[in-house]
């Protein structure tokens, strides 16, 4: 009789735990985000962006992944040239991110979420949008405004994107130190993962942090230059070239503006690094800038580990962990080739989103591991308690639940491009036909180039799909 009652209690406890995460879809905890996004990304690679949105489904505002779903939907709508709808969803995501930031010090609403995370996994916590994703949000929102001919709105968004990077730079070291300290207090360190957690060095590449984005700085420079704010444009081009010094187009931009603004000291330094600047522009020319998006960023994978945790005077005990990881090396992409009037240009890499994502995850590992320590110990204590109160039945059910719910948080903005390149070229004014070649396929783009102005083209090559949007700035 007592065992029967205890078993009922056990079932009630498990139901209560899950109902505490009622705002989450069941699949978030037991299936994982990467698995859910596979059919969405498959449709995206076919250029079926409306279908991808329908597969994405609708999440309620109380769902822990709601803000992420807004980002995914807005990105797909942008690719479908539904700029108004994309703008609306990005704006809503921005409001939620600001609310998260304002609540960060209070943490009142986090109690139930943290309880759910302790007895399930990190998918029970509201998704915290990392800095690099926030920067991409504002960059795409700026493009949304541009393609709706709202230049002032685009400038507001690009300033927000730059502010994200400034705030991230200020908070970076403090956040890393705090996370390492909390992990040390749990009895572990980042070194605990050595030899067990897969290296992400090949995915990270050469990036120094997970938030400084040359694409955002370059887009900012273009908009400032188009609005006549040459000093601000020059500052952001210099920020971009600090990240990508080998980019030929960035080199020409800083040389050109250093010359135009009379920044002689800078010009001397840049000419030593990149060679002398030779202006090719004439009054009968305009400039064409192509932002070239390639493929889709990889999704996080789930990796299982067995790690020792110290338990007061009883020595070490090994526990099973699940952590997210980016596996494999960075894929190699083809350059975009653009031809016009007998001249040919090749794209140069400007940002590798995959590298930013992997570096951000690496920096988050101490926090992730700290929560894992708390979780596995709490689950073990729950198993032991239920085993005592419900015997073998309680032990078996608790063990099954612990294994089934041990899922890494693989959430990330999964519809972003893997890489963004740029091409910048001087083109005669008037109607021009650009011949664009990528992956062996040729596509013609007709533009109406205006003298001394910038024509901006956003070109996407994703799986079997190629497409573009353009505007005169």
- Cβ neighbors of 194 (< 8 A, separation 6 or more) are none
Confidence (pLDDT) at 305: 80
Report the distance separating Cα 308 and Cα 260, nearest Å. Answer: 61
- 99-103, 159-163, 326-330, 437-441: range with lowest mean pLDDT: 99-103
Report the distance separating Cα 95 and Cα 276, nearest Å. Answer: 46
Higher-confidence residue of 327 and 87: namely 87
For 314-352, how does the pLDDT look when each residue is reduced to its tens digit (9 = 90+)?
Answer: 556 677 778 899 998 898 999 999 999 889 999 999 999
Report the distance separating Cα 347 and Cα 132, nearest Å. Answer: 23
- Does the pLDDT of residue 108 top 50, yes or no? no
Per-position b or e across 55-70, b if 16+ CB within 10 A of its CB: bbeebeeebbbbbbbb
- Does the pLDDT of residue 473 top 90, yes or no? yes
- Does the pLDDT of residue 90 top 90, yes or no? yes
- 84-98, 321-335, 376-390: range with lowest mean pLDDT: 376-390
- Does the pLDDT of residue 182 top 70, yes or no? no
Confidence (pLDDT) at 64: 85
241 in Cβ contact with 251 (< 8 Å): yes
Q: Six-digit token pair at 46?
A: 């076919």
Higher-confidence residue of 243 and 390: namely 243
Percent of the chain with pLDDT strictly greater than 90:
56
- Cβ neighbors of 308 (< 8 A, separation 6 or more) are 192, 316, 317, 318, 319
CA 88 to chain centre: 19
- Does the pLDDT of residue 176 top 80, yes or no? no
25 in Cβ contact with 60 (< 8 Å): no
- 166-170, 230-234, 388-392, 414-418: range with lowest mean pLDDT: 388-392
pTM confidence score:
0.86
In the chain, count H helices and then E strands: 15, 11
In three-state secondary structure terms, 446 is strand
CA 62 to chain centre: 22
User: CA 365, 366, 370, 375: dihedral to nearest 10 degrees?
Assistant: 10
Report the distance separating Cα 223 and Cα 471, nearest Å. Answer: 12
What is the DSSP pairing of strand 419-428 with strand 430-438? unpaired
- Does the pLDDT of residue 2 top 80, yes or no? no
Which residue shows structure tokens 């001394």? 452
Higher-confidence residue of 406 and 169: namely 169
- Does the pLDDT of residue 213 top 70, yes or no? yes
- Does the pLDDT of residue 13 top 60, yes or no? no
346 in Cβ contact with 423 (< 8 Å): yes
Percent of the chain with pLDDT strictly greater than 70:
75
What is the DSSP pairing of strand 348-352 with strand 419-428? antiparallel
- Does the pLDDT of residue 449 top 50, yes or no? yes
Confidence of residue 287 (pLDDT cuts 50, 70, 90): very high
Which residue shows structure tokens 């302790």? 118
Most confident of 375-379, 385-389, 440-444: 440-444
Higher-confidence residue of 109 and 14: namely 14
User: CA 31, 293, 161, 159: dihedral to nearest 10 degrees?
Assistant: -150
In three-state secondary structure terms, 28 is helix
Q: Give the domain ranges of the chain.
A: 2-472
Report the distance separating Cα 381 and Cα 324, nearest Å. Answer: 24
Beta bridge partners of 433: 446
Per-position b or e across 280-312, b if 16+ CB within 10 A of its CB: eeeeebbbbbbbbbbbbbbbbbbeebebebeee
Confidence of residue 261 (pLDDT cuts 50, 70, 90): very high
Q: Six-digit token pair at 213?
A: 């984005």
- Does the pLDDT of residue 229 top 90, yes or no? yes
Report the distance separating Cα 412 and Cα 123, nearest Å. Answer: 11
Q: What is the mean pLDDT of the chain?
A: 83
Report the distance separating Cα 299 and Cα 297, nearest Å. Answer: 7
Kindly state the DSSP code that residue 317 receives in the 8-state scheme.
E
Most confident of 176-180, 196-200, 205-209, 420-424: 420-424
Report the distance separating Cα 56 and Cα 128, nearest Å. Answer: 19
Report the distance separating Cα 406 and Cα 122, nearest Å. Answer: 9
State how far the alpha carbon of 104 is from the alpha carbons of 100, 108, 110, 169, in Å.
6, 9, 9, 18
Confidence (pLDDT) at 151: 96
What is the DSSP pairing of strand 285-294 with strand 343-346? unpaired
For the chain, the residue count is 473
Residue 419's CB is within 10 A of a number of other CB atoms, namely 23
Confidence (pLDDT) at 87: 98
Confidence (pLDDT) at 257: 96
**Looking at domain 2-472, which of 3.30.70.920, 3.40.50.620, 1.25.40.10, 3.40.50.720 is its CATH number?**
1.25.40.10
Mean pLDDT of all residues in 85-114: 75
């Amino acid at each position: 009789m007592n065992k029967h009652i205890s078993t009922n209690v056990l079932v009630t406890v498990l139901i209560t735990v899950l109902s505490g995460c009622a705002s989450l879809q069941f699949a978030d905890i037991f299936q994982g985000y990467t698995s859910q996004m596979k059919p969405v990304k498959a449709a995206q690679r076919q250029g079926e962006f409306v279908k991808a949105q329908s597969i994405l489904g609708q999440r309620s505002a109380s769902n822990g992944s709601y803000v992420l779903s807004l980002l995914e939907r807005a990105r797909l709508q942008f690719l479908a040239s539904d700029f108004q709808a994309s703008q609306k969803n990005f704006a809503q995501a921005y409001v939620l991110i600001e609310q998260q930031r304002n609540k960060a010090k209070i943490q009142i609403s986090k109690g139930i979420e943290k309880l759910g995370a302790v007895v399930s996994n990190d998918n029970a916590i509201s998704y915290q949008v990392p800095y690099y994703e926030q920067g991409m949000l504002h960059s795409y929102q700026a493009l949304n405004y541009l393609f709706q001919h709202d230049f002032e709105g685009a400038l507001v968004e690009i300033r927000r994107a730059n502010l994200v990077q400034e705030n991230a730079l200020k908070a970076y070291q403090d956040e890393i130190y705090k996370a390492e300290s909390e992990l040390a207090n749990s009895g572990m360190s980042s070194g605990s993962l050595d030899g067990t957690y897969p290296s992400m060095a090949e995915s990270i590449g050469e990036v120094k942090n997970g938030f400084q984005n040359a694409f955002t700085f370059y887009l900012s420079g273009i908009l400032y230059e188009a609005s006549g704010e040459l000093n601000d444009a020059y500052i952001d081009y210099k920020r971009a070239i600090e990240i990508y010094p080998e980019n030929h187009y960035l080199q020409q931009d800083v040389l050109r503006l250093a010359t135009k603004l009379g920044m002689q000291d800078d010009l001397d330094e840049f000419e030593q690094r990149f060679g002398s600047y030779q202006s090719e522009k004439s009054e009968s020319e305009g400039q064409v800038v192509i932002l070239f998006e390639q493929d889709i960023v990889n999704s996080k994978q789930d990796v299982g580990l067995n790690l020792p945790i110290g338990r007061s005077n009883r020595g070490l005990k090994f526990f099973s962990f699940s952590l997210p990881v980016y596996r494999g090396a960075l894929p190699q992409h083809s350059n975009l080739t653009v031809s016009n009037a007998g001249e040919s240009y090749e794209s140069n890499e400007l940002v590798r989103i995959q590298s930013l994502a992997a570096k951000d995850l690496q920096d988050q590992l101490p926090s992730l591991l700290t929560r894992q320590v708390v979780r596995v110990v709490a689950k073990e204590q729950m198993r032991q308690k239920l085993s005592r109160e419900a015997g073998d039945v309680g032990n078996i059910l608790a063990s099954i639940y612990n294994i089934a719910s041990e899922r890494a948080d693989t959430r990330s903005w999964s519809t972003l491009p893997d890489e963004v390149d740029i091409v910048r070229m001087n083109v005669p004014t008037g109607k021009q036909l650009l011949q664009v070649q990528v992956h062996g396929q040729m596509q013609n783009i007709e533009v109406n180039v205006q003298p001394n102005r910038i024509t901006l083209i956003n070109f996407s090559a994703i799986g079997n799909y190629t497409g573009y949007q353009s505007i005169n700035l």
